[in-house]
Structure 1
Amino acid sequence: MPPRASSSKTTVIAGILAGLLAAGLGAFYLHQQSAPQADKAPAASSQTAAPEQNARAIDALMALPEIKAWSAHIEKASGGRAHGAVMETSPETRLVDGAAYYQLSFFENTPDAAHRWESFVVSPDGKRILVDDIVSAELISLEQWRKDNAPMQRVATQ
């Protein structure tokens, strides 16, 4: 009977696959953002609204000072080997107070794996962002999250 692969080897392979997935999704997002508008065929407004709103929600999340600071910290601390990334964590929207929100997370994308730092739900217009507290399974406001968790300290102490 041949020897089994070590669990660390399996973990490394899983991490590489997760990293490649994160990189591929990031490249796809950037490609969609940079594609010339003239090359796109006209479509019904209900079909084009979702990708535009998704991009608006991602841009709003990426504009948060915490996300900017975390991204810069990850880049600097890893010497450019790891990067921060915002990714949609579910293709389905989540209903919050009767409105659809995009489910997004901030990840640290390393050569070995993608590590989730925080999860959010963001309104399609990007004007309302809530933190998805996975411990309590509740959505909390940015203000409450900042007060309770001091997310900027995450990079200030490292």
Structure 2
Amino acid sequence: MPPRASSSKTTIIAGILAGLLAAGLGAFYLHQQSAPQADNAPAASSQTAAPEQNARAIDALMALPEIKAWSAHIEKASGGRAHGAVMETSPETRLVDGVACYQLSFFESTPDAAHRWESFVVSPDGKRILVDDIVSAELISLEQWRKDNAPMQRVATQ
């Protein structure tokens, strides 16, 4: 039997992902260390509001019918080997009409890699969700995105 080919591609991908994770964690640590430290209670309450708002934004995105359908499709089509996931794609918020919004993306997470399906910008209260068209660099409404891209058809054709 001939020797099996090396899985160098998998090793390279794993190394890249580990490096990106380490860089992200390092940036988060440095950001936390450089943030001004205040000893008063109002500052502490505003720091705890950010994770709650982030979770609210993620929950709102996860509640979209497209995200639910995409997640179910990925799970079923892969036999449970891949999953849908919403992740923050930038630690920095994006200012939209004076509101600092979270930059989130929906990914197909496989054992080898994560594949981005779509990017979104979500308000902290989760009430406003825009699609970040990375090709045109424009934000479009959910209604326009649904009309122009028919995202539910994506699972019907795969």
The answer to whether TM tops 0.5 is yes
Percent of matched pairs sharing the same residue: 97
Contact preservation (8 Å) 2:86, 2:105: yes
Contact preservation (8 Å) 1:133, 1:140: yes
Distance 1:17 1:44 in 2: 33
Contact preservation (8 Å) 2:10, 2:112: no
| Cα offset, 1:44, TM superposition | 1.9
Distance 1:3 1:12 in 2: 20
Change beyond 3 A, Cα 1:19–1:55: farther
Contact preservation (8 Å) 1:22, 1:109: no
Distance 1:154 1:116 in 2: 13
Structure 1 residue runs without a partner (length 5+): none
Change beyond 3 A, Cα 1:93–1:86: same
Distance 1:156 1:98 in 2: 38
| Cα offset, 1:18, TM superposition | 6.7
Change beyond 3 A, Cα 1:3–1:79: closer
Superposed CA RMSD in Å reads: 7.0
Change beyond 3 A, Cα 1:124–1:52: same
Change beyond 3 A, Cα 1:111–1:25: farther
Distance 1:141 1:156 in 2: 22
Contact preservation (8 Å) 2:70, 2:155: yes
Contact preservation (8 Å) 1:69, 1:152: yes
Contact preservation (8 Å) 1:18, 1:114: no
Distance 1:113 1:144 in 2: 30
Structure 2 residue runs without a partner (length 5+): none
Q: How many residues align?
A: 158
